[in-house]
């Protein structure tokens, strides 16, 4: 029996090898791409070698140890979109570094994550072999899901080795598109071996990688194993990066310094960053402890001394009215005897503890609260790629806001997206009513086809209401959540969304429209709108329900106003536009 199973397995394996040998592939070498494709680099046009982390000129200013470590590719990510059922990564590393307490898959391996059309992260496990050339082969991959015919991939590079060269191969018939680096301001982390990634089993499990996926933001990893000492030369470089947040997590490499020197370095680092980047928040992190401290009292005193020094400096800065500084404590990181490899470096559980603690603190700093239901966790989507690219529309809105000053914002899903207005969509089903009721008010259309509440929350948290000063905001979202969420979750999501909108635009009046009636769901929609009518929302927000305008006496929708039982036709848009305009005129 065992022999038969083994024979079957070998036959399948040999068949797959034969098929692979007969396939034709196309190859992508990121270093030859004219677009910036390495995410996590602070100086992409100034590096000596393509996968370095510091600019070439830093070789003359930082210590040799820091410079050498900066050639290791920790935190660097390549992004692409593909529908390939097979992806092969071939690359060579700069050295034969091995660590006794960290697996080769973390030291020199790569890690591949996919994102589906709902914005959910999926991990791809591949077969790998290590040699002069390292090869990872991912076969039998899912090529599409319910909405999209391709996946967005994150390819994480080695944590403790540099990359000499790298190629991505996919079958010739597959779609493949490199994705450019985002323009959003990154989070910059300056730290030690822990932040560099020791001792994660895979690059995607380093806490900076975990945090980047949790927040859906670029994290630049400037951690240097054994050499994260809060040095002025490195601080000066970090200040060159136009960041959304600076994280200083260097205390594990400062335990051998006198308390006075530790205090000096912390204070000077904060002062230098705030002088060069005023207004950008700084997060200072305590030493997360040694998890064998109860057996080694001297080690316990070491981390307690540096944490005491940090707390004294932090309290002094706060007392001096220094703003935009924050503290992440050992208690919040919450390591224990099961979360480290050697008492110092986190295992994968410890890395998750770090990422969870950082996410909670950073969301507080950024004023981006989340809760537990899916309607309250911000996420991207790509459910309608044949009609438009979701992320490109987001980018178009950010660019529009830089040159225009809209006074009326309409936020929603396809009902809003394909009404009319700017940024322009491929179709406009209600141009007449849009021009009549909204054009005079200087509007912007923040509708995205297939959006749910959580997708709008992502957009609000990622800048679509920044840099403008609208007087009125109309929100019409929730119908796409009906198949996935309870009534309570929908109401909870709208509560959080309106709070987020108010946080970005506290002076704007917000008009929340009830979910429009839709075919075969009239009664449920009516019940949700009744819940919304009795819900207490933040100040400056008003709820209204246009549903009765589109219902027959029997409480079923009047199909004459709809094109498909959900989306209004021109006649429906005229009726809805007049209703919204009337409400806005009274706010």
Q: What is the pLDDT of residues 506-553, one digit of tens each?
A: 999 999 999 999 999 999 999 999 999 999 999 899 999 999 999 999
Is the domain of 130 the same as that of 226? no
If one counts every other C-beta atom within 10 angstroms of the C-beta of residue 500, the result is: 23
At 77, is the pLDDT very low, low, confident or very high (cuts 50, 70, 90)? very high
Do the domain assignments include residue 14? no
CATH number at residue 49: 2.60.120.260
Residue that is last in its domain, among 366, 384, 404: 366
Q: Is the pLDDT of residue 3 over 50?
A: no
Host H or E run for residue 12: helix 2-22
| Average per-residue pLDDT for the chain | 95
Tokens 């010739």 found at? 172
Round to whole Å and give the CA distance between 119 and 374: 11
Do the domain assignments include residue 8? no
Is the domain of 359 the same as that of 379? no
Tokens 């305009």 found at? 581
In the prediction, which pLDDT does 96 show?
73
Do the domain assignments include residue 478? yes
Q: What is the pLDDT of residues 373-382, one digit of tens each?
A: 999 999 999 9
In the prediction, which pLDDT does 20 show?
58
CB 128 within 8 A of CB 135: yes
pTM score of the predicted model: 0.94
577 DSSP assignment: H
Q: What is the pLDDT of residues 27-70, one digit of tens each?
A: 999 999 998 999 999 999 999 999 999 999 999 999 999 999 99
Ramachandran quadrant class, 153 (left: phi over 0; alpha: psi -120 to 50; beta: rest): beta
Share of the chain above pLDDT 90, in %: 95
365 DSSP assignment: H
CB 81 within 8 A of CB 151: yes
Write the CA distances from 436 to 353, 516, 523, 560, 569, integer angstroms: 54, 21, 32, 21, 16
Round to whole Å and give the CA distance between 108 and 74: 10
Round to whole Å and give the CA distance between 456 and 362: 20
Residue that is last in its domain, among 317, 348, 366: 366
Number of domains comprising the chain: 3
Is the domain of 34 the same as that of 154? yes
- The residues, ordered by sequence, that sit 6+ positions from 452 with a Cβ below 8 Å of its Cβ are 375, 381, 413, 477, 478, 480, 481, 484
Vertex 448, ends 445 and 453: CA angle to 5°? Answer: 110
At 19, is the pLDDT very low, low, confident or very high (cuts 50, 70, 90)? very low
Q: Is the pLDDT of residue 5 over 50?
A: no
In the prediction, which pLDDT does 21 show?
66
Which residue in 199, 252, 246 sits closest to 229, CA to CA? Answer: 252
- The residues, ordered by sequence, that sit 6+ positions from 68 with a Cβ below 8 Å of its Cβ are none
CB 127 within 8 A of CB 72: no
Is the domain of 282 the same as that of 249? yes
Taking residues 125-129, report their average pLDDT.
96
Which residue in 249, 244, 231 sits closest to 285, CA to CA? Answer: 249
Is the domain of 382 the same as that of 299? no
Radius of gyration of the chain (CA): 27
Structure tokens at 104: 């080769």
At 6, is the pLDDT very low, low, confident or very high (cuts 50, 70, 90)? very low
Round to whole Å and give the CA distance between 182 and 37: 9
Is the domain of 297 the same as that of 411? no
If one counts every other C-beta atom within 10 angstroms of the C-beta of residue 12, the result is: 10
Do the domain assignments include residue 74? yes
Is the domain of 475 the same as that of 569? yes
Q: Is the pLDDT of residue 7 over 80?
A: no
Host H or E run for residue 443: strand 443-447
Round to whole Å and give the CA distance between 270 and 280: 11
Do the domain assignments include residue 435? yes
Round to whole Å and give the CA distance between 480 and 461: 20
Is the domain of 514 the same as that of 387? yes
User: What are φ and ψ of residue 88, in 5° steps?
Assistant: -120, 125
Do the domain assignments include residue 6? no
Q: What is the pLDDT of residues 142-201, one digit of tens each?
A: 999 999 999 999 999 999 999 999 999 999 999 999 999 999 999 999 999 999 999 999
Q: Is the pLDDT of residue 17 over 50?
A: no
Ramachandran quadrant class, 140 (left: phi over 0; alpha: psi -120 to 50; beta: rest): left
Q: Which domain, by its residues, includes 211?
A: 193-366
If one counts every other C-beta atom within 10 angstroms of the C-beta of residue 231, the result is: 20
Residue that is last in its domain, among 317, 340, 366: 366
- The residues, ordered by sequence, that sit 6+ positions from 406 with a Cβ below 8 Å of its Cβ are 400, 442, 443, 444, 468, 470
Is the domain of 41 the same as that of 155? yes
Is the domain of 197 the same as that of 334? yes
Tokens 């400037």 found at? 222
Structure tokens at 84: 């390939």
Do the domain assignments include residue 11? no
Is the domain of 404 the same as that of 357? no
Beta strands in 341-430 (DSSP E): 408-412
Do the domain assignments include residue 404? yes
In the prediction, which pLDDT does 539 show?
86
CATH number at residue 298: 3.40.50.1110
CB 172 within 8 A of CB 26: yes
Q: Is the pLDDT of residue 4 over 90?
A: no
Taking residues 350-356, report their average pLDDT.
98
At 372, is the pLDDT very low, low, confident or very high (cuts 50, 70, 90)? very high
In the prediction, which pLDDT does 445 show?
98
Write the CA distances from 522 to 545, 553, 563, 564, integer angstroms: 13, 12, 16, 14
Give the relative orientation of helices 487-504 and 453-461 as an angle to the nearest 10 degrees.
Answer: 20
Is the domain of 438 the same as that of 313? no
Taking residues 481-503, report their average pLDDT.
97
First-to-last C-alpha distance (Å) of the chain: 78
* SS3 sequence of 31-99: HHCCCCCEECCCCCCCCCCCCCCCCHHHHHCCCHHHHHHHCCCCCCEEEEEECCCEEEEEEEECCCCCE
CB 328 within 8 A of CB 361: yes
């Amino acid at each position: 029996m065992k022999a038969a199973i083994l024979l079957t397995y070998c036959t399948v394996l040999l068949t797959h090898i034969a098929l692979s040998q007969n396939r034709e592939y196309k190859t992508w070498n990121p270093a030859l791409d004219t677009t910036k494709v390495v995410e996590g680099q602070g100086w992409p046009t100034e590096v000596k070698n393509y996968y370095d982390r510091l600019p070439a000129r830093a070789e003359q200013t930082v210590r040799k140890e820091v410079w050498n470590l900066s050639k290791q590719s920790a935190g660097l990510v390549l992004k692409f979109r593909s529908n390939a059922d097979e992806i092969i990564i071939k690359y060579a590393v700069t050295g034969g570094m091995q660590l006794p307490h960290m697996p080769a898959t973390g030291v020199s391996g790569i890690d591949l994550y996919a994102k589906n059309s709902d914005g959910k992260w999926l991990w791809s496990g591949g077969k790998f072999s290590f040699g002069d050339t390292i090869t990872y082969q991912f076969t039998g991959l899912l090529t599409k899901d319910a909405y999209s015919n391709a996946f967005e991939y994150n390819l994480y590079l080695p944590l403790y080795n540099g990359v000499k060269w790298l190629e991505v191969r996919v079958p010739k018939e597959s779609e493949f598109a490199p994705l450019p680096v985002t323009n959003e301001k990154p989070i910059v982390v300056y730290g030690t071996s822990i932040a560099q990634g020791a001792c994660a089993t895979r690059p995607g499990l380093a806490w900076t990688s975990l945090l980047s996926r949790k927040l859906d933001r670029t994290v630049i990893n400037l951690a240097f194993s054994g050499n994260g000492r809060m040095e002025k030369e490195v601080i000066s470089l970090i200040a060159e990066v136009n960041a959304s947040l600076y994280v200083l997590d260097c205390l594990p490499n400062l335990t051998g310094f006198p308390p006075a020197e530790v205090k000096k370095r912390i204070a000077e680092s904060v002062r230098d960053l705030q002088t060069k980047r005023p207004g950008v928040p700084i997060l200072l992190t305590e030493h997360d402890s040694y998890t064998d401290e109860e057996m080694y009292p001297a080690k316990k005193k070491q981390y307690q001394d540096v944490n005491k020094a940090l707390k004294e400096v932090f309290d002094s800065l706060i007392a001096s009215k220094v703003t935009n500084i924050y503290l992440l404590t050992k208690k919040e990181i919450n390591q224990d005897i099961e979360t480290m490899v050697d008492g110092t470096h986190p295992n994968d559980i410890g890395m998750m503890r770090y990422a969870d603690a950082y996410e909670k603190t950073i969301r507080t700093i950024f004023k981006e609260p989340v809760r537990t239901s899916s309607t309250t966790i911000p996420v991207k989507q790509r459910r309608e790629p044949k009609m438009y690219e979701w992320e490109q529309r987001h980018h178009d809105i950010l660019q529009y806001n830089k040159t225009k000053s809209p006074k009326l914002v309409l936020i929603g899903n396809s009902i809003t997206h394909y009404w009319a207005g700017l940024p322009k969509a491929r179709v406009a089903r209600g141009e007449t009513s849009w021009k009549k009721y909204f054009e005079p008010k200087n509007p912007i259309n923040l509708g995205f086809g297939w959006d749910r509440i959580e997708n709008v929350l992502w957009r609000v948290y990622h800048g679509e209401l920044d840099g403008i000063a609208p007087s009125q905001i109309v929100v019409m979202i929730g119908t796409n959540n009906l198949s996935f969420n309870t009534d309570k979750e929908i109401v909870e999501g709208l509560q959080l969304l309106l709070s987020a909108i108010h946080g970005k635009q506290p002076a704007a009046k917000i008009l929340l429209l009830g979910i429009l009636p839709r075919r075969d769901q009239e009664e449920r929609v009516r019940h949700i709108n009744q819940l919304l009518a009795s819900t207490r929302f933040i100040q400056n927000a008003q709820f209204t329900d246009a549903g009765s305008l589109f219902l027959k006496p029997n409480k079923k929708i009047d199909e004459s106003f709809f094109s498909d039982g959900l989306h209004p036709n021109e006649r429906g848009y005229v009726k809805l536009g007049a209703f919204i305009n009337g409400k806005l005129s009274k706010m």
